[in-house]
């Protein structure tokens, strides 16, 4: 087991265990419920819900200083190895949610973008997830909702900059 720098002190912090547990529950609950709601509106033959992470990764757009979204960037964003991400992107292309486009500066480079159908499905998924979250915190004050959004955004930004060890 590799120990990260500074983690010995962190392991004694009980708040980290609570955060880790809460994140696991959030992921499971949100995925199960939001994807279930989308499935209710689309027969399984019409939509492959496992492709939604690909749609979100493409929808996020290019990173600063880069020209476009590539399969490699999709792989990084959804935490998969490039070959698995390539297969998922291929499935999203076959389903009509994503299309390959040539780079404007280098025709040999292939970039990805959402089709209208992909953008529509991603938007539906966002709406369902936001509705789910909205129900969970509907009784919270505006201040508490704003503070959660601020702190959670800060947390996820810092998390994306952290070496996973």
Residue span of the structural domain in which 57 resides: 33-138
Q: What is the pLDDT along the chain (165 residues), one digit of tens a residue?
A: 445 655 555 567 888 889 888 888 877 776 665 556 666 666 555 667 789 999 999 999 988 877 789 999 999 999 899 999 999 999 999 999 999 998 777 767 789 999 999 999 999 888 887 887 888 899 999 999 999 999 999 998 898 788 766
Asked whether residue 48 is assigned to any structural domain, the reply reads yes
Asked whether residue 51 is assigned to any structural domain, the reply reads yes
Asked whether residue 28 is assigned to any structural domain, the reply reads no
Asked whether residue 152 is assigned to any structural domain, the reply reads no
- Helix pair angle (116-136, 52-59), 10° resolution: 100
Q: Output the domain CATH number for residue 125.
A: 1.10.10.10
pLDDT in tens, 131-145: 878 888 999 999 999
pLDDT in tens, 33-52: 555 666 666 655 566 778 99
Q: Look up residue 69 and give its DSSP letter.
A: B
Instruction: Show Cβ contacts of residue 85 under 8 Å, excluding neighbours closer than 6 positions.
Output: 54, 71, 72, 74, 75, 78
Asked whether residue 57 is assigned to any structural domain, the reply reads yes
**Beta bridge pairs of residue 112:** 69, 100
Contact 58, 152 (CB under 8 A): no
Q: Which helix (H) or strand (E) holds 110?
A: strand 110-114
Asked whether residue 22 is assigned to any structural domain, the reply reads no
Q: Which long-range contacts (CB under 8 A, 24 or more apart) does 16-21 make?
A: none
pLDDT at 13: 82
Asked whether residue 103 is assigned to any structural domain, the reply reads yes
Asked whether residue 88 is assigned to any structural domain, the reply reads yes
User: How many domains would you assign to the chain?
Assistant: 1
Q: Look up residue 41 and give its DSSP letter.
A: H
């Amino acid at each position: 087991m590799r120990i990260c720098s500074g983690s010995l002190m962190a392991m004694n912090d009980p708040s980290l265990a609570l955060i880790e547990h809460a994140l696991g529950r959030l992921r499971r609950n949100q995925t199960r419920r939001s994807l279930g709601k989308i499935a209710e509106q689309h027969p399984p033959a019409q939509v492959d819900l496992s492709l939604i992470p690909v749609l979100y990764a493409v929808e996020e757009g290019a990173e600063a200083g880069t020209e476009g979204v590539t399969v490699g960037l999709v792989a990084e964003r959804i935490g998969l190895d490039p070959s698995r991400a390539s297969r998922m992107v291929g499935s999203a292309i076959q389903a009509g949610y994503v299309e390959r486009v040539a780079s404007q500066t280098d025709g040999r480079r292939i970039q990805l973008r959402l089709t209208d159908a992909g953008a529509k499905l991603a938007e539906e998924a966002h709406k369902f997830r936001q509705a789910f979250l909205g129900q969970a915190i509907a009784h919270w004050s505006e201040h508490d909702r704003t503070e959660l959004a601020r702190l959670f955004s800060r947390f996820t930004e810092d998390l994306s900059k952290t070496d996973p060890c």
